[in-house]
Structure formats: structure tokens, C-alpha cells
Amino acid sequence: MNELEALAESQLNDPHYLQSVTHLGDTLPIVANREINTSTGMKLVSAGMRIDSSLYDRLLQHRLAPPLDQCLSAEDAVNGGGLVQMATQMMAEDKQLGLIQSVQYDGQSLTSVLKQVPLNPAIAFKLTVMRETNAALFKRSIYVALVSIYIGMKLHLEKIQLKELATAALLHDIGLLHVDPKLLDRDHKMSESERRHLYVHSVTGWMILKTYPEYRKKVLDAVLQHHEHLDGSGYPRGLKSSDIGQFAQIIAVAEIVASRNGSESDAHSWSRLETILKLNLRRYGRNLVPCLKIFYSEAAAAPPCSDIDKQNALKRMSRISSLFAAWEKARDACDDKIPACTFIDERMFNLKMEIIDAGFNPYSNDDELLGIEGDSQAFFEARMLLDETLWQLGNITREAQRRWPGITAENSAVDVNAVRAWMQEVDAVFKDIPL
């Protein structure tokens, strides 16, 4: 068992999911459909017994066999009909999902494909826990599934492929049920150790699903790989290009669409989607991005440019230019044999090319931005591009820290110091210009 799988295994046996299940039993009838035993064969709970929070401490003290999900049944458990009902309601209430609601391919609709997802009783129970304890994650999983099916239809996938894609998309984040809930709070500032626990959730989901024969290799691979990127910047294994399955690539771009839903209060969230995609063509694939045009083709008109908007944009442009220039100096001080240096240099080159492809110069000066201030649409797009570029710069440092946790620690090596100093400069920019 490698380090990632060992960490995922520890997640499967941590107290967070057990606490969610037992406390849910206080309000939703949950019953043991078979004896719950320890791994040594000692009976803890009899078949037919109601599960609630009073059993938490007893169950926590033991490793259970078989896994808890295989022993429990919940009232009103998630099923195909319930998924269709929720998906239909979401498409009726959400403007962007409504744009794809009527799409059909080969005699199938989005919801008819979703209804075909095989739900092993243990997995149906797990989805029920998700629905009741983290409604936002449950809805987001359905959202990603619907967008994934839509993309699959645009790509003319066969019926069995659409079914497997829908299955992987619906279950892609099931491992998050075993993550400490505080790590899913946007306001929580994660430590590097906590970040590793969050990043391993795709391995945890893969380990959960591989137990059940209903979920074939393509589904398992998609769940494991849905945070991998074509340029190698993703996780958990840093795969590249053809090493990443088609389903995982589709789910990755569907997640970008889902992240826009409810992420901002302004009317321009979907315009930002276009900007994000422009800066991620090397990550997500040029063949998939055009499928998403329907979500931003009717975006709201750009707002007028205020003096504050202008000042903020100029500040961002100045910081971005300085970070690119600072990296060029840091790179010259690096030893090419140091993996972190090579990694950051490759990411910075890719980001520079993506910015240029999007129609902007990463070494822009004030005149370039001020020259378009009279065009509200162009200026608005430039501001969004600057925001996304800053986010990408921060992501490069976060990914480097994840891969090499000790890189920001004090070190006497000059070549490492140059990398660390640049990363600290990026962090300082984010403290000065919060996004």
C-alpha cells in the first residue's frame, strides 16, 4: 500500500463519518440490517437495532467488519427516482441548468441517463447520509453529473459510456464524506497536513467504490483522477495527457461549471467562467471547453468601470508583472536538478502562454490597461483575467507546497532559498490583494 492509499485507509476509519451516521440516526430512522461485528468477530449491534448517537462511542472503539455502510439501511434512502426528482427540480430552478434541460441524444434525456446509475445498497446509504448531512455537496454532485452527461452527449458517447460517466460524476466526491467537515468550510485556513487530507479524498472514493462489482474500472479511474490535469498540475498522482481517462477529464470541466453556481452574488459569475476556461485550455483540453459555451453565451452585460475598479486592476497588473519578473530571477538562481524548481518553471511557462492565448500580456504596463478603460466590456474581461491569473499564481505555490511540504522551511541551500523567496512573494501579494 503506497502513502496515498495508506492515508485514504486512515480516512475510511476516522471518526467523522461515523459521527455523521450515528447522529443522523437521532432524526432519521437508521436500522442495522445485519449484525455489526468487530474485525475479530465480536458482536456490537444486533440486526434490527436502531442506530443513533448513543452508539457512537461503542462503534468508535473498534474496526468494523464488514464496513458500516453494508450493515445499515435508512428510511427514504436515495434511489434513481429520487435523483431524477431532485435533478428535475434543480433544472427548473437554476437558469444555467435550464439551458440544457431539454437536450437529448440517442433517445435519452439527461435525467433518463441519471436514473440508470447503479446504486449498490451501501452506496445508496452513503448518498443518503450526504443528502441529509451535507445537502450542498449532494446537490453539487447531481449538478456535476448533469453537466457531465450533457458534455458526453455533445461528444456523442455511446449509451453504456453515458451511464458509466453519469455514475462516476455522481459519485466522484463520495470520499469527501470521510473528510473533517471543517476542511470543507471556505473560511477555514488549512494547514499543509489538512490540505493533504483533503487532496486524498479522490483516493478514498476510489477505495470505497472498488469494493462493489457494479462500479467498473472506467468509473473507478474517473473517481480517482477527477482532480488530475492534462498539464500534470493536478492530484493525487500528477498524471498528464493520455494517462487521464476521458471521463475524469469531463468531470473536471463539469466541476468548473458547478463551481460557478451560487459562487457569487453578482450577475457576472458566468462571464467569469469564460475567463477561467480561457486560462485553463492546457489543463482541461480544447475539445471539451467548447461544449461549455452554452453556459456563458448569454452572460450579463459588463458593468461600468469605476475609479476604484481601475485602481484595483492596475494594482493587480503591477503585482502580476512583478511576480513573473521575480520568477525569472529566481529561476536563474535555481539548480535545474531540483524538482520543485522545474515544476514551478513549467507551470509559470504554461500560465504565461495561457495569458497570451487569452489576449493579454503578462508583462503588461499601465498604458495597455488604460487604453481599453473606455470599453466597459473589454475592461471587465481584463479585470476577470487578472483575478484568475492571480489565483493561478497562488495555485502554483499551493501545489508546490503539497508536493514538497518542506520547501517553505528555512534552508541554507541558495538554490532552494530562491524558490522559497519567490513563493513568499506570491503569498505576500495575496495578503495585499485578497481575491
How far apart, in whole angstroms, are the C-alpha atoms of residue 281 and residue 388?
A: 13
Whether the link from the prior residue into 29 is cis, omega within 30° of 0, is no
How confident is the model over 171-189, as pLDDT tens digits?
999 999 999 888 888 777 8
Phi-psi region at 76: left, alpha or beta (left = phi > 0; alpha = psi -120 to 50): left
Looking at the predicted structure, is the pLDDT value of residue 411 above 80? no
How confident is the model over 221-244, as pLDDT tens digits?
999 999 999 988 889 998 998 899
For residue 185, the model assigns a pLDDT of 81
Residue 252: pLDDT band with limits 50, 70, 90? very high
Q: Phi and psi of 64, rounded to 5°?
A: -95, 145
Residue 298: pLDDT band with limits 50, 70, 90? low
Q: Which three cell numbers stand for residue 225?
A: 483522477
> 289 with 274: CB under 8 angstroms?
no
Percent of the chain residues past pLDDT 70, beyond the cut = 90
For residue 309, the model assigns a pLDDT of 76
How far apart, in whole angstroms, are the C-alpha atoms of residue 62 and residue 36?
A: 11
- What is the chain's alpha carbon radius of gyration, rounded to the nearest angstrom? 24
The top-scoring range by mean pLDDT among 49-58, 61-70, 280-289, 331-340 is: 49-58
How confident is the model over 196-221, as pLDDT tens digits?
888 899 999 999 999 999 999 999 99
Residue 398 parent element (H or E) = helix 376-403
Residue 326: pLDDT band with limits 50, 70, 90? very high
For residue 366, the model assigns a pLDDT of 58
pTM: 0.86
Looking at the predicted structure, is the pLDDT value of residue 251 above 70? yes
The top-scoring range by mean pLDDT among 92-101, 297-306, 383-392, 396-405 is: 92-101
Residue 138: pLDDT band with limits 50, 70, 90? very high
User: Closest by alpha carbon to 219, among 137, 155, 162, 175?
Assistant: 162
80-295: which CATH topology?
Hypothetical protein af1432 (1.10.3210)
Burial 348-365 (b: 16+ CB within 10 A, else e): bebbbebbeebebebebe
Q: Which three cell numbers stand for residue 151?
A: 458534455
For residue 368, the model assigns a pLDDT of 56
Looking at the predicted structure, is the pLDDT value of residue 290 above 70? yes
Residue 166: pLDDT band with limits 50, 70, 90? very high
> 168 with 247: CB under 8 angstroms?
yes
For residue 265, the model assigns a pLDDT of 45
Residue 412: pLDDT band with limits 50, 70, 90? very low
For the chain, the structural domain boundaries read: 3-74, 80-295, 307-432
How confident is the model over 337-396, as pLDDT tens digits?
788 888 899 889 988 888 887 777 777 665 555 555 555 667 777 788 888 889 889 989
Among 119-128, 158-167, 191-200, where is mean pLDDT lowest?
191-200
